[in-house]
Amino acid sequence: MRQVSVGSIVGQLAKAEGLNVIGVVGSDEKAEWITKELGFDGAINYKTDDLAAKLDELAPKGIDVFFENTGGPIQHHIFERMNAHGRVVVCGLIADYPKAEPAPGPSWLNVIKKRVRIEGFTMPDHFGEIPQLLQTLTPYVMSGQVKYRAHTLEGLESAITGLNLFFTGDNKGKLVVKL
């Protein structure tokens, strides 16, 4: 499960539904936030941890659902650990956005061997489901079971700073430009 804003909500929803959830983050502060504050079962720092060793430690029985939000080297380690009939949701590939050529993805071989189901996700396809989402999410937010944090910048002129923060990871929470 990957990251700060989208990933933190997806992870908390998964947790509220009873799943064992591991988050991938880029700093120890974020690792502490998702485990201590949000209740994730584990965190992996994609910048400093030994990815394979940490995944073996946190997911010894393999991975059933992979919510892909970033791309980058860890996707291969996760994919290798997918369980049979596992599911992959491809929502974002931030590691590839600044590149002229996206990095090669995982091999199709494991898709066959593990009978993995993969589906791309784009938010506009689901606008019609916002009422159902609110029905599920609102009680969780009201009861404090789902928490969020926003990183708010003031004024349109700060939008470029916001865009840069998106890639440096110095934002803490969903980036919002207040007009």
Binding site for ligand NAP (CB under 6 A): 3-7, 25-27, 30, 46, 69-70, 72, 91-92, 94-95, 121-123, 166, 169, 171, 174-175
Question: At its nearest, how many Å lie between ligand NAP and the CB of residue 33?
Answer: 10
Q: How far is the CB of 62 from ligand NAP (least distance, A)?
A: 21
Nearer to ligand NAP, 7 or 106 (CB): 7
Q: How far is the CB of 122 from ligand NAP (least distance, A)?
A: 4
R_g over Cα of the chain: 17
| 109 vs 125, beta carbon nearer ligand NAP | 125
- Nearest residue to 8 (alpha-carbon basis) of 49, 37, 46: 37
Amino acid making up residue 124: P
Residue (108 or 148) nearer to ligand NAP, CB: 148
- Is the Cβ of residue 25 or residue 55 nearer to ligand NAP in the bound state? 25
